[in-house]
Structure 1
């Protein structure tokens, strides 16, 4: 599969990508190679990865606890301390081996340690393959507020190897599918239609096209001043819902994709009411989402808490929440202002 060239780094695919990693290590003469994992990737992915790492450099393994709840500065401090105690210096390399939490947090850790060391992303979940590992965003959450602390920093390379998906639970595959749906409705409707038809899905092709789309968008707008905002479709309300369930002691956490799927249904409804997005296409998106994800009922008594969390969205300006909405499939409008009553109405529509 052909390599995709991002702004300053390549995205390699499948087994051939490990040769490129070996060349990178040899050419840069790194002092130490740190590999960041969680308990799941240590058990299931590290044994698949390590035979492919051809080097005589010193290798150190650093493990953190899995889950969005651990994507915070406290975990970063633990990783920074570990790198320091293990003799890390400016010529060290950090390899992130894991899902979105690992790649987001690991990239942030690497970019800040001694004002920046090289890092390589090896995503192991569908979500991280099609979204989190590509595009140069790194960061951590502030409490339950998603990705409030971070910076733009590019890896030396990204390695996408579908073999790691064999280690992932079906729920996590579904979580990543939400990002592919997002690319479909905003940028390339063929992706959405493939998932809608659900006939012999070629996951390799879906991943490649998703990475290709994200790279095309990021190359045009690396700092999210304009076009890149389309990658936030479904995420404005979706992140608020995800954060609400994360902080609620009496509710099971939603995966990122489950929350974003709800957000996309709601934001399609808002699009219909404000921009004339065809109602039959709202139904199409809702039907696909409901067919993939277990239904989550958003309780009316929780609406106000979700709306409060919207006030902390990263795209807000002067306290005003900004949505990405659709005129039609592949035809979007950024920085849309949505009345609170319509946001509530959209959640009620999702519940129906």
Structure 2
């Protein structure tokens, strides 16, 4: 007698493996061992598992539509990524549906569920800074929807991705400050659960070590937004913390730093140098203009979309592609050499 409603999750539970592993085993994915494939297929027969015919029918039809999930479109970096994505999508005859998570895990889950129940041929995603659980993305993967991550990836999730060389970018920014004579360099860091934050912090720390500068961990402060930077910078000044430079995780945070330093009549870069990350348009609008790390957003969008097209068209190799794009330090007036 047929067991009602047997799903991939039921098979996974019995075998003590993830649903995504079951899904890939059933699809004869090369990343899954033969013994696991044999176990999964044997149990699927025993449990009388049958794929959802409606879902299969929907997935077998191409819509020529790609879903894109980004944290925030307001940032120049992400708008540049979108431009790169759309350029390649147009070349392949694809349309793009863009949704913002607004840095919210809950909103990201809602967006992914919407894409799951619509007809998209693939997904490009950069996860929110709140995201710690990834079941909503695994569900898309289990449905056979190709996924490519860009900028912010999920550690341990097997997929193609394109990222920035965050480590080297942060290293260059910090070493630049050290070469300019700065020794008390504050780092306004990003969320500790995000790999980009970890990489930038690692670059900051290694630049200190490799240049013989003592690391003061009290100068590492989690702060990644304009308004938080206003509060944190003023607090540092009020508490008379000694510092001669601030390296921020993004340019909007640096803008908050510059605002408060100027309001307190602290000379930039005479007393304190400021370096951001991202080379947002705001970097050249600030006074003084902001030294920052340029990241190739447009190229990231192009490469991520091309990877996804290769997956959709079965032109990609079985192993996942992992591409790291170079950054460039752009020196401006906020960190010029002391006279």
Higher helix proportion, which one? 1
Q: TM-score, normalised by structure 1?
A: 0.30
Superposition TM-score, scaled by structure 2 size? 0.31
Larger RCO (alpha carbons 8 Å, 6+ apart): 2
Pair member with larger Rg:
2
